[in-house]
């Protein structure tokens, strides 16, 4: 296969458009893995031909020498041995059958991923519930979008990251970015901020002076730098000012919302000076910001993981929505509220059955009508579909315990890097009777498996993805996969057959999508009016897209998704227990991303250019903090709390607050940031507390700076 293929980047939810052109070599190098592919940017509303470093280098992984090329089975000697597909799948199916027979269907668990295509996510949910009969399925989107999703559902009645096309931001005069570093996580996004920058209205709320925060320099906006974990107090203070200074859009609130009186009472005590004492943000800045947000048309409020990955993340996202509703932004032309989905298919991945409490179309699994509809599509009785399971953290905590999960199937996730309290997760995985991982590399999680099944990569498969703006797009195959790997649709179908499942499991992505359309029809995320033919013609497809409609690029123009058409203003409050306390010798740990890497780094750490740019985790400290702790730039450090220890080097920068330390979460082993994070979760969304854990930072004397610099070729 040598024709160019128009597709999209395999990384974040911006889903930048690209063209892949396979190269035919006259004399391929001996042992060279796979077909070389050239990447070129393609004009598309989100990226307009641009790509970031990750996108430009994405094709290198297709020819990586680390690529898995045959199933691996762990032998009695503890080592992996290559096996045939027939033997590997027979082994897995036999073990699953025995475990279900001995301990029941819920003794088998499934952990999915927000990077799977819509087709894979859909079929994985169907496989778990029908072929395995288990309710124990959840996915890594629980770590990413669950708080924003819960807040959106209760306020608007629907969860779509951006309820408007991304290029609507081009006309904004004011954009408030809360807890998101788009300049590093999705660089082409910043082109949509130019209008707000030119108007001096880009506002970035982040405890670090990130690359995104620096976009506000030279009169282009404002960087607000609150203490870590005080975002909810900040938002309550802004709402207080909006109400006290009569900046509320009274007509909009009266006509389109309910709950105003409760919200007004809930923020009465959050006057600006009190907010200043909690957040460190001057009262004058708070007033200036509130007035700017209320200054007229063209205002957008966007949230990201920085304000959502907390035990009060749902309430914080809700407060941001309350602020937007009081200003009359959602559904108004040229204004709006949204949240920035992170993973490539974080939106579609949570719509079609990977979540423990959902069925395709974003249907609730406890809803009898929803169960009956999906059962008709699947050709089963509604009673054959298990009830709700448990969210990701609880699922992992149950591994290997009496009455818990004994076998786990992992698709599209690197659990022992991305999960909170990683040391505990490693312990639980070790207690399993069977761990099966589908991956294209031997990730840190795959390395612990009993069976590893090698799968196709993005450029070797067909399917659909759903971008952060709710737009369904086509992933197209550019090259033929290596002979030894298989598509996950085929793997699920083969396992279902071996488990004597009577339901149909198609292996053709288009046919799976046709079934998904039927299963989603009438649901919140209705895809029934979308098909491959229209996507291949380049037609824009924003869900909900009921059969016979033209789709919904912009939600909320006339009504919200609650039965009465009204949005809910929900009163929230700061809970004293939500924030950790640190003594004089401790710092608040803030985790996040780097420009060069993606998620757990299982892919990007294997790209030479990206790995060379950021080869290791560095702990970012303020110079004043470093001086107090006796730390110099480049020193070896130990970050420790009662959950674990991370060893890395210091990077001194004034771009972080003196009370915090920043650690990227892309690295494994002893540099895994999640060795330090808590598995305490938000009571509503089950989102773990990733962002504000307390650590003690101490220098290590094992290696001197002089020795290390000499090794690196840098003069001492």
- The verdict on 372 and 436 lying in the same domain is yes
What distance in Å separates the CA atoms of residue 704 and residue 360, rounded to the nearest whole number?
Answer: 56
DSSP type of residue 364: E
Helix (H, G, I), strand (E, B) or coil at 361: coil
Contact 662, 590 (CB under 8 A): yes
Q: What is the pLDDT of residue 578?
A: 47
pLDDT single digits (tens) 59-105 = 999 999 999 999 999 999 999 999 999 999 999 999 999 999 999 99
Are 264 and 315 contained in the same domain? yes
What's the CATH number where 349 sits? 3.40.50.740
438 vs 451: CA distance, rounded Å: 9
Q: What is the 3-state secondary structure (H, E, C) of 222-277?
A: EEECCCCCCHHHHHHHHHHHHHHCCCCCHHHHHHHEECHHHHHHHCCCCCHHHHHH
Q: Do residues 194 and 324 both lie within one domain?
A: yes
Q: What span, in angstroms and rounded, lies between the C-alpha atoms of 453 and 639?
A: 35
- If we measure between CA atoms, which residue out of 553, 469, 339, 342 comes closest to residue 46? 469
Answer yes or no: do 198 and 325 share one domain: yes
Query: Do 358 and 496 have their domain in common?
Result: yes
* Contact present, 696 and 639 (Cβ < 8 Å): yes
Q: Which of 23, 39, 63 is the last residue of a domain?
A: 63
pLDDT in tens, 575-610: 865 445 556 679 999 999 999 999 999 999 999 999
Shared domain check, 291 and 243: yes
Query: Does any domain span residue 104?
Result: yes
Q: Give yes or no: residues 190 and 322 share one domain.
A: yes
Same domain, yes or no: 139 and 163: no
Distance CA 307, CA 637 (A): 27
Separation of alpha carbons 503 and 698, rounded Å: 57
How many CB atoms sit inside 10 A of residue 260's CB?
18
Q: Is residue 571 part of a domain?
A: no
Specify the pLDDT at position 183.
96
Phi, psi of 30 (to 5 degrees): -60, 125
CATH number, domain at 698? Answer: 2.40.40.20
In a domain, 514, yes or no: no
192 vs 46: CA distance, rounded Å: 8
Cα maximum dimension of the chain: 75
Strands (E) across 116-252 are located at 137-139, 174-178, 202-205, 221-224
What pLDDT is attached to residue 21?
96
* 359 and 307 assigned to the same domain: no
CB 37 within 8 A of CB 21: yes
470 lies in some domain: no
For residues 8 and 468, the answer to whether their CB atoms sit within 8 Å is no
Q: If residue 440 lies in a helix (H) or strand (E), which one and from where to where?
A: none
Residue that finishes a domain, picked among 315, 339, 363: 339
Low-confidence ranges of the chain (pLDDT < 70): 1-2, 24-34, 576-584, 702-716
For residues 372 and 283, membership in a common domain is answered with: no
Number of domains in the chain: 4
List alpha helices for 280-404, DSSP H.
283-293, 305-308, 313-326, 346-349, 368-378, 392-397
Within-domain flag for 556: no
Q: What 8-state DSSP symbol labels residue 459?
A: G
Say if 424 falls within a structural domain: yes
**What tokens were used for 80?**
């992996």
What is the C-alpha R_g of the chain? 25
Partners of 618 in beta bridges = 649
Residues 6+ apart with CB under 8 A from 407: 95, 96, 99, 107, 108, 109, 432, 433, 434, 435, 436
**Separation between Cα atoms, residue 71 and residue 671, nearest integer Å:** 29
Question: What's the token pair of residue 391?
Answer: 């969210």
Please check whether residue 393 lies inside any domain of the structure: yes
Beta bridge partners of 224: 205
- CATH number of the domain bearing residue 281: 3.40.228.10
Q: Are 74 and 450 in contact (CB under 8 A)?
A: yes
- Pull the structure tokens for residue 639: 């970050």
Give the contacts of 88 (CB within 8 A, at least 6 positions apart).
71, 73, 451, 453
Q: How many CB atoms lie within 10 A of CB 101?
A: 10
Write out the residue range of the structural domain in which residue 55 sits. 5-63
Verify that 410 and 314 share a domain, yes or no. Answer: no
Q: 369: exposed, middle or buried (C-beta count within 10 Å: 0-12, 13-18, 19+)?
A: exposed
Last-in-domain residue among 306, 339, 372: 339
Residue 705 lies in a domain: yes
Residues 6+ apart with CB under 8 A from 369: none
**Minimal CA–CA distance to 177: which of 220, 218, 143, 141?**
220
Could you tell me if 291 and 403 lie in one domain? no
Cis peptide before 396 (omega within 30 of 0): no
């Amino acid at each position: 296969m040598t024709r160019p293929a128009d597709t999209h980047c395999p990384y974040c939810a911006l889903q930048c458009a690209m063209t892949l052109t396979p190269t035919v070599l006259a004399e391929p190098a001996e042992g060279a893995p796979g077909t070389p592919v050239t990447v070129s940017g393609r004009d598309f509303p989100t990226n307009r031909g641009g790509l970031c470093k990750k996108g430009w280098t994405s094709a290198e992984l297709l020819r990586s020498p680390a690529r898995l090329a045959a199933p691996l089975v762990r032998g009695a000697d503890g080592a992996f041995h290559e096996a045939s597909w027939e033997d590997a799948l027979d082994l897995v199916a036999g073990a699953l059958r025995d475990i279900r027979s001995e301990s029941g269907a819920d003794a088998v668990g499934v952990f999915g991923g927000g990077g799977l295509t819509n087709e894979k996510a859909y079929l994985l949910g169907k496989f778990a519930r029908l072929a395995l009969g288990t309710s124990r399925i959840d996915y890594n989107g629980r770590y990413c979008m669950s708080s924003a999703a819960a807040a959106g559902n209760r306020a608007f009645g629907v969860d779509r990251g951006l309820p408007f096309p991304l290029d609507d931001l081009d006309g904004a005069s004011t954009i408030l970015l809360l807890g998101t570093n788009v300049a590093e996580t999705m660089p082409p996004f910043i082109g949509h901020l130019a209008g707000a920058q030119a108007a001096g209205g880009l506002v970035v709320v982040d405890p670090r002076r990130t690359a995104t925060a620096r976009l506000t320099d030279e009169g282009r906006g404002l960087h607000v730098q609150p203490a870590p974990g005080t975002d909810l107090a900040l938002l309550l203070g802004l709402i207080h000012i909006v109400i006290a200074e009569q900046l509320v859009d009274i007509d909009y609130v009266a006509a389109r919302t309910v709950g105003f009186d409760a919200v007004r009472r809930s923020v009465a005590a959050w006057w600006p000076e009190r907010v200043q004492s909690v957040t460190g943000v001057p009262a004058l800045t708070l007033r200036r910001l509130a007035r700017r947000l209320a200054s007229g048309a063209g205002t957008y409020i966007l949230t990201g993981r920085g304000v959502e990955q907390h035990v009060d993340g749902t309430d914080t996202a809700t407060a941001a929505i309350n602020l937007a509703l009081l200003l009359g932004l959602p559904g108004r032309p040229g204004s709006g509220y949204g949240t920035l989905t992170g993973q490539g298919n974080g939106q579609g991945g949570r719509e079609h059955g990977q979540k423990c409490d959902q069925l395709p179309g974003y249907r609730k699994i406890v809803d009898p009508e929803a169960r009956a509809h999906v059962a008709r599509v699947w050709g089963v009785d509604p009673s054959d579909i298990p009830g709700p399971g448990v969210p990701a953290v609880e699922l992992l905590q149950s591994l290997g315990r009496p009455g818990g999960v004994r076998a786990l199937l992992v698709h599209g996730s690197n659990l022992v890097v991305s999960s909170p309290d990683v040391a505990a997760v490693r312990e639980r995985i070790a207690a399993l009777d069977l761990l099966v991982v589908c991956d294209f590399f031997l990730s840190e999680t795959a390395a612990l498996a009993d069976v590893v099944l090698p799968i196709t990569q993005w450029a070797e498969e067909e399917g659909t993805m759903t971008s952060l703006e709710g737009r369904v797009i086509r992933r197209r195959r550019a090259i033929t996969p290596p002979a030894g790997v298989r598509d996950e649709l085929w793997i699920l179908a083969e396992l279902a057959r071996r488990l004597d499942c009577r339901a149909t499991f198609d292996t053709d992505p288009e046919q799976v999508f046709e079934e998904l359309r039927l299963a989603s029809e009438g649901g919140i995320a209705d895809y029934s009016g979308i098909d491959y033919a229209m996507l291949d013609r380049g037609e824009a497809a924003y869900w909900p897209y009921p059969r016979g409609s033209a789709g919904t690029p912009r939600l909320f123009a006339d009504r919200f998704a609650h039965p009465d058409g009204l949005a809910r203003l929900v009163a929230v409050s700061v809970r004293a227990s939500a924030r950790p306390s640190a003594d004089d010798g401790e710092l608040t740990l803030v985790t996040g991303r780097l420009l060069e890497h993606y998620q757990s780094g299982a892919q990007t750490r294997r790209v030479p250019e990206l790995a060379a740019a950021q080869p290791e985790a560095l702990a970012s400290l303020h110079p004043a903090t470093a001086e107090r702790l006796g730390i110099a730039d480049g020193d070896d450090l130990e970050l420790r709390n009662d959950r674990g220890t991370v060893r890395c080097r210091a990077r001194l920068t004034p771009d972080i607050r003196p009370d915090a330390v920043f650690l990227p979460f892309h690295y494994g082993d002893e540099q895994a940031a999640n060795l330090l994070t808590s598995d305490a979760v938000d009571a509503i969304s089950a989102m773990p507390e990733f962002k504000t854990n307390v650590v003690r930072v101490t220098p290590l004397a094992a290696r001197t700076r002089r020795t290390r610099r000499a090794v690196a070729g840098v003069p001492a």
